[in-house]
Chains A and B, each alone.
Chain A
Amino acid sequence: MMRKLLILVLLGVLLLGCTQQPTQPAGKKEVVIGVIGPMALPEGSSEKNAAMLAVEEINAKGGILGAKLKLVVGDTKINPDTAASEFRRLATVEKADMITGGFSSGVMNAMMEVMAETKTVFLADASSPGHPAMVEKEYDKYKYWFRISQNNGTTFAWDMVEMIDFLEESGYSVDRVYIIRDEHIWTDAVMAALKPEFEKRGIEIVADREVGRGYTDYEPLLLEAKDLNADLVMPILAIAGTGDALAKAWGTLKIPALLAGHDLAAIDYQFYDKTNGMANYEIFLNDGGALVTACPTDMCKKFVEAYKAKYGHYPESHQAYGAYDAVYAYKIAVEEAQKAGEKNPFDPDVVVKYLEKHDTKNPIVLTRTIAWHKNHALVWGDKFVRNWIAQWQDGKQYIISPKNVANGELKLPPWVTK
């Protein structure tokens, strides 16, 4: 009798063991997620908020392989030295298993060296094509780096060219473009890709003006654009941080040229108010492939509402989608590694292997559809992540192209007639 009882108890324990899914690898009680970025900017704060949301959601469902997630935060202050030391702190002191964030290609270079040294999986935010080129050139050293937030800077050029093609198709002819861009490495890559495309289309760049961080005197530039009969003022601005001042000057002076390009500040849902409504009709690239008013996936729709419920407002920059996806992508890779029987699914080399499996044939559908090239750059395209062409119209953001995701139509400012 006693023997039968013992066998029953033993079977019960074994059965319980089988149902206790997922199992956690020996010694792993906590998964540390690092988020790093310029925390005084919407780009950094939204990354932190979004990563926190993902961590809480995953923890509510049992964590990753039973281990709870903990979020640690580093502030780059858009300074390469600070960024490198903060990355090192997250990787070595906080012992982050994965770090997400970044922002600013120059700062990213500094962090990638620490990443390589500490072998930390880094799902990153920065657009210079130089970073995936480093992965390609020295794979073993830089393989831990994956781009998650947006496409390569060169794709901004493709999307801006498509923006011009779209304007042409909509009846607005673009022949003379006035460029205002960041005095920064990332815009050089954009310009290199943009120029031949303009030449093919017979578009003349009437001026190419570079501005530094915090630059505000846009009126003389806009008046110059007017003098040069530009029909399009094209901002390529992220680091300047003063896209609001540009939009304000353009709307106030009513420059007879469209304001259309890549103005990172315009993605901020508060941008319209910050310009006192002068951003009306500004056309911008919806960098990062998602917009509150036009979410490409169901997860994106749930995410933006959850974000608003938690923080009282929608994501203040597109980096939020990247950071949120980063935590889930990491979870998926670790769980796939565990399922495949890897001894330590949290090993950075193992995680890299399983992230790499998500190419165009096997994308991950998160807030956007994520797939990586061999050099770990995000795959660009209508079915993946790309910069939608969007416009501010009476205080609301609308995607106006491509047609398969558009939820609004192009509206020209009344003072621009052509």
Chain B
Amino acid sequence: MIDLIMRILVYGAVSGGIWALAASGFSLIFGIGRILNFAHGTFFVLSAYICFILAKDLGVNLFISYIIAILLVGALGVVVYKIMMAPVRHHEVMVIIVTLAFALLVEQILLLLFGEHGYSIPSFVSGSMEIGGVLIPKTRILAFFVSIAVIILLEYFINRTRTGKMISAVSQDSEAAMLVGMDVEKLFMITMFVSASLAGIGGLLFGQVFGASPIFAVKSLIYAFAIVILGGLGSVRGSIIASFIVGYIITTTIILLGSRWAEFVMLITIISILIFRPTGLFGVEE
């Protein structure tokens, strides 16, 4: 029994870490601009494919490939915002439509170029090790520690830096922020860069554990969306905590009930929580 609990603790934490990156990015851009970016899952898988092309096909150093992939996805996020989202930013439904269209377009391009079966993203580590008697691949451990490090950096960026505080201010009242002289449009672009980069890092960590496939774009979007709703729309801290809750629900279900029930139990739990707390765990009523 202790073995099972340890396994749930270890694997749940690792899954939660990866999803925390994807969900916090999704939450960040919603928090500042009420933008529901349905292309978020696309950034998640794109980074893995960019890294794969750089490292495997072009022979670029693995560390540099990871960095370039994250930066490129972040930059793409800004471009997508400027060209597609900004003109319709005040129409939430239009934002959903254009980002969904972009996501489907990229998915089709990836399917045409790479097909649906996965590609393994090279990792910095290999093999497995035991933690508390639980055997775990080192790729998962790497994913966990990188996730935690990035989450700490994100918290620092939002709460301690001048830019982060301005982003928080815009998320509270963009008109007031504009009146006191903040360049709101520039802050949107910075947020979009950070949001897409977070998805990109999540995608890379996921890819080096499981592989990259276009079908993970939808999966990651659904997970991010579910987590963000559970955590409370717009609350980055809520998203992070909700990610770990979801990670534990999924892992517990896989271990105790079987894999086929994992997503079902996760969604039932989220719906149940939302019935009692419609704004999510850390959301506030508008």
Contacts and interface: CB of A to CB of B under 8 A. Distances in A.
A217 B116 contact: no
A233 to B, nearest CB: 14
A276 interface: yes
B147 to A, nearest CB: 16
Interface string A203-244: 000000111111111011101101100000000000001101
B260 A212 contact: yes
A226 B7 CA distance: 13
Interface residues of B, number: 40
A40 B116 contact: yes
A53 B15 CA distance: 45
Interface string B91-131: 00000000000000000000110011111101000111000
A395 interface: no
Which of A45, A220, A242, A252 has most chain B Cβ within 10 Å?
A: A220
A214 B219 contact: yes
A320 interface: no
B255 interface: yes
Interface string A21-58: 00000000000000000101110010000000000000
A241 B215 contact: yes
B135 interface: yes
A265 interface: yes
A41 B112 CA distance: 9
A147 interface: no
B44 interface: no
A254 interface: yes
Contacts of B138: 252
B286 interface: no
Contact of B119 (A241, A249, A252, A274): A274
A276 B126 CA distance: 10
Interface string B182-225: 00000000000000000000000000011101111001000000
B117 A265 contact: yes
A41 B116 contact: yes
B250 interface: yes
A52 B154 CA distance: 52
Contacts of A227: 3
Contact of A220 (B7, B115, B127, B214): B7
B10 to A, nearest CB: 10
A283 interface: no
A219 B136 contact: yes
Main secondary structure of the interface of B (DSSP, over half): helix
A105 interface: no
Contacts of A323: none
Interface in A177-223: 183, 209-217, 219-221, 223
A155 to B, nearest CB: 24
Nearest to A255: B135
B237 interface: no
B53 to A, nearest CB: 14
Given A214-B216, A245-B210, A42 B15 contact: no
B160 to A, nearest CB: 35
A245 B210 CA distance: 5
B137 interface: yes
Given A41-B117, A183-B260, A211-B259, A217 B215 contact: no
A38 B116 contact: yes
A212 B134 CA distance: 25
B171 interface: no
B260 A211 contact: yes
Nearest to B138: A252
B243 interface: no
Interface string B239-270: 00000000000110011001110110000000
A268 interface: yes
Interface string A267-306: 0100001111000000000000000000000000000000
A226 B140 CA distance: 19
A253 to B, nearest CB: 5
B11 A220 contact: yes
B115 A248 contact: no
Contact of A268 (B111, B117, B137, B211): B117
Contact of A40 (B112, B122, B139, B211): B112
B252 to A, nearest CB: 10
Contacts of A42: 115, 117
A212 B258 CA distance: 11
B215 A213 contact: yes
Interface in A130-169: none
Contact of B135 (A38, A210, A253, A268): A253
A216 B7 CA distance: 17
A241 B140 contact: no
Nearest to A278: B120
B115 A41 contact: yes
A252 B139 contact: yes
A274 B115 CA distance: 13
B206 to A, nearest CB: 8
A220 B117 contact: no
Given A216-B211, A248-B211, A268-B117, 16 more contacts: A183-B260, A212-B259, A214-B213, A216-B210, A217-B254, A220-B251, A220-B255, A223-B135, A242-B210, A244-B120, A245-B210, A252-B139, A253-B136, A274-B119, A276-B120, A276-B122
Sorted nearest first, the 9 A-B pairs with minimum C-beta distance are: A40-B111, A216-B210, A252-B137, A40-B116, A214-B215, A210-B260, A220-B254, A41-B116, A245-B210
28 contacts: A38-B116, A40-B112, A40-B115, A40-B214, A209-B260, A211-B259, A215-B259, A216-B211, A217-B15, A217-B251, A217-B262, A219-B136, A220-B11, A220-B259, A221-B259, A241-B117, A242-B211, A242-B213, A245-B211, A248-B210, A249-B137, A252-B126, A265-B117, A268-B117, A274-B117, A275-B120, A276-B122, A276-B126
Interface of A: 38, 40-42, 45, 183, 209-217, 219-221, 223-224, 226-227, 241-242, 244-245, 248-249, 252-254, 265, 268, 273-276
